[in-house]
């Protein structure tokens, strides 16, 4: 992992893109509704794959899905969605591609109901990050009662490809939980930046 004096989370590889993502994004509280929607969709793309695989294709996803603008995605035709299945710059899985489209419709339904997506997501952790104190990567759970509740609520709203474990990965990524291990270089900086 490069400099041995720098301690990071144990799940990280030595890939520069992955390190940048870990150091600058992972676990940082994200409150922007559209960015949360993007991450939720991308986490759904990961199912059965590594996050690094998705991360390397993230810019391609942003391009073909119009920056994850749910209004634009909701206007995709069946033909356009089928064409995306042939696009090698993203993961060519019909169900996962369809899920992004359907999730955009669910997002817009929430808006029509007067529900702010960010408020909806953050309500599951009481509007503030849950700070955990894991010593090793093996201590970190794959899912929690909170991720199960979030997955159930999203499913009830019609969202796809978002099981409990996927939702927990989303919560970790977007800072709803701080799961940086206690010795990670990012942990203290992150805690200091989120103090009220």
Q: Residue 194: which of 143, 97, 122 has the closest Cα? A: 122
pLDDT of residue 2: 47
**Chain CA centroid to CA 86, Å:** 24
Q: 32-46, 90-104, 179-193: which has the minimum mean pLDDT?
A: 179-193
pLDDT at 105 exceeding the cut of 60: yes
Binding positions for Zn(2+) are 9, 22, 180, 184
Task: Give burial (CB, 10 Å; 0-12/13-18/19+) of 151.
Answer: buried
The CA distance from 178 to 131, in Å, is 5
As annotated, the active-site residues are 21, 43, 51
> What's the DSSP call for residue 178?
E
pLDDT of residue 112: 97
Domain membership flag for residue 135: yes
Under the banding of pLDDT at 50, 70 and 90, the label for residue 188 is confident
Per-residue pLDDT of 24-66, as tens digits, reads 999 999 999 999 999 999 999 998 899 999 999 999 999 999 9
Domain membership flag for residue 46: yes
Listing DSSP states for 145-162 in one string gives HHHHHHHHHHHHTT--S-
State mean pLDDT over 137-155.
97
Binding positions are 9, 22, 180, 184
> By residue range, what is the domain housing residue 22?
16-193
Domain membership flag for residue 45: yes
Domain membership flag for residue 66: yes
Under the banding of pLDDT at 50, 70 and 90, the label for residue 1 is very low
CATH of residue 28: 1.10.340.30
Domain membership flag for residue 11: no
Beta bridge partners of 136: none
Name the phi and psi angles at 106, rounded to 5.
-65, -40
Domain membership flag for residue 112: yes
- Overall number of domains in the chain: 1
Under the banding of pLDDT at 50, 70 and 90, the label for residue 189 is confident
Under the banding of pLDDT at 50, 70 and 90, the label for residue 190 is confident
pLDDT of residue 191: 67
Task: Give burial (CB, 10 Å; 0-12/13-18/19+) of 62.
Answer: middle
Per-residue pLDDT of 126-139, as tens digits, reads 999 999 999 999 99
pLDDT of residue 42: 97
pLDDT at 67 exceeding the cut of 70: yes
């Amino acid at each position: 992992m490069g400099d041995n004096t720098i301690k990071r989370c144990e799940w990280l590889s030595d890939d520069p893109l992955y390190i940048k993502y870990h150091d600058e994004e992972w676990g940082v509280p994200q409150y922007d509704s559209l960015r949360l929607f993007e991450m939720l969709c991308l986490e759904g793309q990961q199912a059965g794959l590594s996050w690094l695989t998705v991360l390397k294709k993230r810019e391609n996803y942003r391009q073909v899905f119009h920056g994850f603008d749910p209004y634009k995605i909701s206007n995709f035709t069946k033909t356009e969605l089928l064409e995306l299945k042939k696009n090698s710059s993203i993961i060519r899985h019909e169900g996962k591609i369809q899920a992004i489209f359907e999730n955009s419709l669910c997002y817009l339904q929430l808006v029509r109901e007067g529900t702010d997506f960010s408020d909806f997501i953050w309500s599951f952790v009481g509007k503030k990050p849950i700070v955990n104190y894991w010593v090793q990567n093996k201590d970190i759970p794959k899912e929690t009662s909170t991720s199960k509740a979030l997955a159930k609520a999203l499913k009830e709203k019609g969202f796809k490809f978002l099981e409990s474990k996927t939702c927990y990965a989303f919560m970790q990524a977007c800072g709803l939980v701080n799961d940086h291990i206690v010795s990670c270089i990012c942990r203290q900086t992150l805690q200091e930046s989120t103090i009220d």
